Amino acid sequence: MELKAAANGRRPPSTYASLAPFRDYFRGGLPLLTYHKLGPRPPRVRLKGLYVGEKLFARQLAELRQAGYRSCDFGALALDVTQPQGRIGISFDDGYVNALKYGLGPLAEHGFQALQYIVSDRIGGGNEWDLPAGEAYEPLMDQAQLRDWLAAGHLIGSHTRSHARLPELSPAQAREEIAGSKKKLEDLFGVPVLHFCYPYGFWNERVRDLVIEAGYRTATTTDFGLNDGATSPYELRRITVRYASWGLRALRQRLFG
Ligand SMILES: [Zn+2]
């Protein structure tokens, strides 16, 4: 269904694996790509597609660069999402060690800057919030690794203190997750933390207002789409990057029967 629509040039797939089906679509606004984990996939992983291999990641950046894309200016996002054509945002959720280990090389080679959304109380820990659903444990960057990330010219944003489901919290708890994580990251690393990402994409107007109150300039959702002058900077849309095992098989089947 998705592949058919993409071939007609009307609607791209709901997740990103390569530029080709998105070439025309990306002309409609600013795309923000969402990565999670890079490199080899450990055994017993539930969401396998969220591990993008190092070679595939490098290939994706290479083709974006060859098509003339450059990193968007995250600092300007809140003021104007209608940046010049050919800009793209590369972001990572959660702050995994593997994003540092396998990401820094390809990002440097192809000249892209990336924004990593950090869970401030889990620095040096792991994705405990994923474990009840049966997901595999994956270590998160510690302070020294986050300093390496920043020293390489990349950015950090906040993803709350504990990867919280914000709409379920009291106003005081939600404020602590949103404003408290910003303060902690700024105190630890001495950089402004201007960008926020709603864990699980869960937000409501009350949560959004707390993000604005805390002084963030943007907040990203998990809603699919591009961003333009009509998009609220606190409801930015993103496109998830996935290892397209199923998509490739389906495509081959369509082409070769
Ligand atoms: Zn997350």
Distance 64 CA to ligand 1 centre (A): 25
- Domains of the chain plus CATH, in order, are 20-256 (3.20.20.370)
For the entire predicted model, the pTM comes to 0.90
Instruction: HSE, CB side, 13 Å, CA atoms: give it for residue 253.
Output: 8
Of 95, 92, 89, residue with least CA distance to 30: 89
Task: Assess whether pLDDT exceeds 50 at residue 5.
Answer: no
Of 26, 68, 76, residue with least CA distance to 227: 26
Distance 256 CA to ligand 1 centre (A): 38
Distance 205 CA to ligand 1 centre (A): 20
> What is the number of other CB atoms lying within 10 angstroms of the CB of residue 209?
14
Instruction: HSE, CB side, 13 Å, CA atoms: give it for residue 108.
Output: 12
Close Cβ partners of 169 (under 8 Å, ≥ 6 residues apart): 177
Distance 130 CA to ligand 1 centre (A): 9
* Cα–Cα–Cα angle for 21, 71, 140, rounded to 5 degrees: 95
Distance 86 CA to ligand 1 centre (A): 27
Annotate 112-122 with b (16+ C-beta within 10 A) or e (fewer): bbbbbbbbbeb
Confidence of residue 12 (pLDDT cuts 50, 70, 90): confident
pLDDT tens by residue, 193-226: 999 999 999 999 999 999 999 999 999 999 999 9
- The Cα 17–Cα 5 span in angstroms is 16
Distance 182 CA to ligand 1 centre (A): 16
Mean pLDDT of 152-171: 97
Share of the chain above pLDDT 90, in %: 76
Looking at residue 130, what is its pLDDT? 93
Distance 187 CA to ligand 1 centre (A): 22
Distance 242 CA to ligand 1 centre (A): 15
Instruction: HSE, CB side, 13 Å, CA atoms: give it for residue 214.
Output: 33
